[in-house]
């Protein structure tokens, strides 16, 4: 939405006046934002939620409504002398984070927004590939996982929406973002897939669930040695963020 607002202003400016948009959307279809104007778009890689240097860090994922939780946990990390880098979970964000995990740059993960798994299953805009949610586990680094943003699927065009979803209400979030609500069947399918991925983990792994949601499929399929923390709050509540920070510190080894 920030990119949409910024480039709308840029498109009103005359040709030749320098226009640069740094955005997490720059690796996707940029036509709705650039149109016929001389706008330069630069991918930000990490989300623009505070400045950081990508050194020995903790990776966090977020998308829209979970941003407040991610920034709260990031602040708690900083208080403990750790650096958190937030990645926008729009497909490229999660993929970039996991590439840095492969390179041994990121040493721990709070995977708050796992919607990229949903979009991979149903051909959505934020598809980050079939290895999403498996890299941290395979590398054995501590990971705390939450089912943030799995309540929707995103598409960039109506012709990309599968036939099984075309009867549903479509929310137009921006010029190239169409949002559909995941129903009980899809959430059950996603929960099972997430459990299968997490069950492969070799390192410290925990799951934190906001109880004011639907997550039976995930918890029923997880290996019993994976800790599940249930918080009687919404994922957007400060209580959830604080409990997530405490659990993250614990699985990081204090």
- Model pLDDT, residue 149: 94
Tens digit of pLDDT at every position of the chain (254 positions): 888 999 999 999 999 999 999 988 887 788 889 988 999 999 887 776 655 554 458 999 999 889 999 999 999 998 888 889 999 999 999 999 999 999 998 999 999 999 999 999 999 999 999 999 999 999 999 999 999 999 999 998 899 999 999 899 999 988 888 999 999 999 999 999 999 999 999 999 999 999 876 678 888 899 999 999 999 999 999 999 999 999 999 999 86
β-strands 40-43, 84-88 pairing: unpaired
- Model pLDDT, residue 51: 52
- Model pLDDT, residue 24: 83
Domains and CATH numbers, the chain: 2-43 (no CATH), 57-251 (3.40.50.12030)
Please give the Cα distance from 241 to 249 (Å, whole number).
Answer: 12
Cβ 3 vs Cβ 21: under 8 Å: yes
Please give the Cα distance from 44 to 22 (Å, whole number).
Answer: 6
- The two three-digit tokens of residue 121, written as one number: 């299953």
- Model pLDDT, residue 48: 62
User: In which region does residue 161 sit, left (phi positive, over 0), alpha (psi from -120 to 50) or beta (all else)?
Assistant: beta
- Model pLDDT, residue 55: 43
């Amino acid at each position: 939405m920030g990119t949409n607002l910024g480039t709308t202003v840029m498109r009103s400016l005359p040709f030749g006046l320098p226009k640069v948009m740094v955005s997490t959307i720059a690796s996707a279809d940029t036509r709705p934002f650039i149109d016929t104007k001389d706008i330069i778009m630069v991918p930000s890689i990490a989300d623009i939620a505070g400045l950081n240097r990508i050194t020995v860090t903790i990776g966090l994922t977020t998308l829209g409504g979970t941003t407040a939780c991610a920034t709260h946990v990031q602040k708690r990390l900083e208080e403990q002398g750790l650096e958190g880098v937030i990645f926008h979970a729009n497909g490229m964000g999660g993929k970039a984070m996991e590439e840095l995990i492969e390179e041994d740059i990121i040493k721990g993960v709070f995977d708050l927004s796992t919607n990229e798994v949903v979009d991979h299953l149903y051909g959505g805009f934020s598809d980050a590939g079939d290895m999403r949610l498996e890299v941290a586990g395979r590398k054995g680094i501590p990971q705390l996982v939450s089912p943030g943003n799995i309540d929707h699927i995103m598409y960039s065009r109506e012709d990309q929406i599968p036939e099984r979803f075309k009867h549903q209400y479509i929310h137009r979030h921006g010029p190239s973002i169409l949002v559909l609500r995941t129903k009980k069947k899809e959430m059950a399918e996603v929960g099972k897939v997430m459990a299968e991925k997490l069950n492969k983990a070799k390192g410290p792994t925990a799951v934190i669930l906001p109880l004011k949601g639907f997550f039976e499929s995930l918890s029923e399929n997880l290996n019993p040695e994976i800790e599940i923390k249930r918080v009687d709050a919404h994922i957007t509540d400060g209580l959830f963020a604080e409990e997530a920070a405490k659990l993250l510190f614990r699985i990081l080894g204090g």
